[in-house]
Amino acid sequence: MIALLRLCRFYYALPMAAAFLLTIYYARGGRMESRWTADLVAAGALMLVIAAAYVLNDVLDCHIDRVNAPGRPLPSGAVRRSAALAWGIVLMIGGVVVASQGRPQFLAALAAVAVVVTCYDLLSKRLGLLKQVLVSVLMASIYPLAVAQAGWPVGSRAGALAFFPVWLLLTSFGYEILKDIRDARGDMAAVAAPSPVQRRPDVWRIVSRGAILAGAAFLVGPFVYGCGWVYVAGAAGAGILATVSAFLPVRRALRLVYAECVLVGLAATLDVIVLGF
């Protein structure tokens, strides 16, 4: 069971679900009376779909992971491929079923995301540069998903929600390029022709730096539109992490960009806890 849970990448799925819930809180201006239960269920549905996407991706990329990550549950033999496939399907269907307890708009949006992410898992190694773009869009989709659950943003911090999706879109794009540079050796064995990232990793490393730094610049916007000094302190730290990542080897840069994303989420959360709306 532990090996099946490892496939879910909860270190991605849980923060994304938490960011989704925080976005709902921002969109409603903190007015969550009688809505916490429904929104927590919606966050759980999103987490299940995200976890399913990672499981199915590992099932389809098992032969690549034997080169890039032999210690993962599937290439190491800790989980059978058939069991992992069944697990991923159950999680994906379960997520959509749970989403039916939310607003109809959220159910429709999450079902669409589930279809797109499944297609991505099936086709990712044939998408070329579109692969990074599609992942970035899927990552940033937590914001429109949250609006679908919450309704149109209102309140003093509503304007901040115009900046967070752009930050995450650009940061995710840079992060995915870094991951593809890291995994190039195994990925090249799975495609007929190398992708642009695989052909010129030096050039795309520069592109990833530019995307991550450009994303960090958008972290100023939420301060202008309602966030306070607690957020500013955290966002400044996140900006430093993004800047330092530009000068580090790929694997260490990935860790710092992940830490940047976590820090932004914590800063946005603590800001409303300390300062309110």
Cα 74 from chain centre:
22
Q: Give the residue with greater pLDDT, 132 vs 190.
A: 132
Q: Which fold has domain 1-155?
A: Tetracycline Repressor; domain 2 (1.10.357)
Please enumerate in sequence order all residues whose Cβ is within 8 A of that of 117, keeping only pairs 6 or more positions apart, or say none: 49, 53, 138
What confidence score (pLDDT) does residue 77 get? Answer: 81
CATH of 156-277, one of 3.20.20, 1.20.120, 1.10.490, 4.10.240: 1.20.120
Whether pLDDT at 105 is above 90: yes
Under a CB-based contact definition with an 8 Å cutoff, are residues 230 and 274 in contact? yes
pLDDT tens digits, residue range 72-104?
888 888 889 899 899 999 999 999 999 999 899
Cα 67 from chain centre:
24
pLDDT tens digits, residue range 136-175?
999 999 999 999 999 988 888 889 999 999 999 999 999 9
Where are the chain's structural domains?
1-155, 156-277
Domains 1-155 and 156-277 share a fold: no
Single pTM value for the model: 0.91
What confidence score (pLDDT) does residue 192 get? Answer: 59
What confidence score (pLDDT) does residue 186 get? Answer: 65
* DSSP string of the chain, one letter each residue: -HHHHHHT-HHHHHHHHHHHHHHHHHHTTT--TTTHHHHHHHHHHHHHHHHHHHHHHHHHTHHHHHHH-TTSHHHHTSS-HHHHHHHHHHHHHHHHHHHTTS-HHHHHHHHHHHHHHHHHHHHGGGSTTHHHHHHHHHHHTHHHHHHHHH-S--STTGGGGGTHHHHHHHHHHHHHHHHHHHTHHHHHTTSSS--HHHH-HHHHHHHHHHHHHHHHHGGGHHHHTT--HHHHHHHHHHHHHHHHHTTS-HHHHHHHHHHHHHHHHHHHHHHHHHH--
Q: Give the residue with greater pLDDT, 1 vs 270.
A: 270
